[in-house]
């Protein structure tokens, strides 16, 4: 089974995922990203991703841009606070976990 915590659309509350299988990795984002959210991403109750805020190919990794999808300065804020979580659409290498059920 695959699992992850995604910040691709934004952040609103800290979260932990603790698998019942003790051999599997616990994934958590306990930082309060709302406290450091850039003004351009702030919304009531949370912090939008750059894609949700700006709706541009640069930030959204659309199919036309998927091969050139890279982390932005905004997604790096999320990743620095929560290194195990998806911070942009192609953040698979450090953000997808597997666990036998």
pLDDT one digit per residue (tens) for the chain, 101 residues: 899 999 999 999 999 999 999 899 999 999 999 999 999 999 999 999 999 999 998 898 887 767 778 899 999 999 999 999 999 888 888 899 999 87
- List domains and CATH numbers for the chain: 2-95 (2.60.110.10)
DSSP state of 25: P
Query: 55-84 in b/e burial notation, b at 16+ Cβ within 10 A?
Result: eeeebbbeeeeeeebeebebbebbbebbeb
């Amino acid at each position: 089974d695959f699992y992850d915590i995604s910040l691709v659309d934004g952040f609103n509350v800290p979260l932990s995922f603790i698998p019942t299988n003790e051999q599997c990795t616990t994934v958590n984002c306990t930082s309060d990203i709302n406290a450091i959210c850039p003004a351009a991403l702030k919304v009531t109750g949370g912090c939008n991703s750059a894609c949700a805020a700006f709706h541009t190919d640069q930030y959204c990794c659309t199919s036309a841009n998927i091969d050139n999808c890279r982390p932005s300065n905004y997604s790096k804020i999320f990743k620095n606070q929560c290194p195990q979580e998806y911070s942009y659409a192609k953040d698979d290498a450090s953000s997808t976990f597997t666990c036998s059920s």
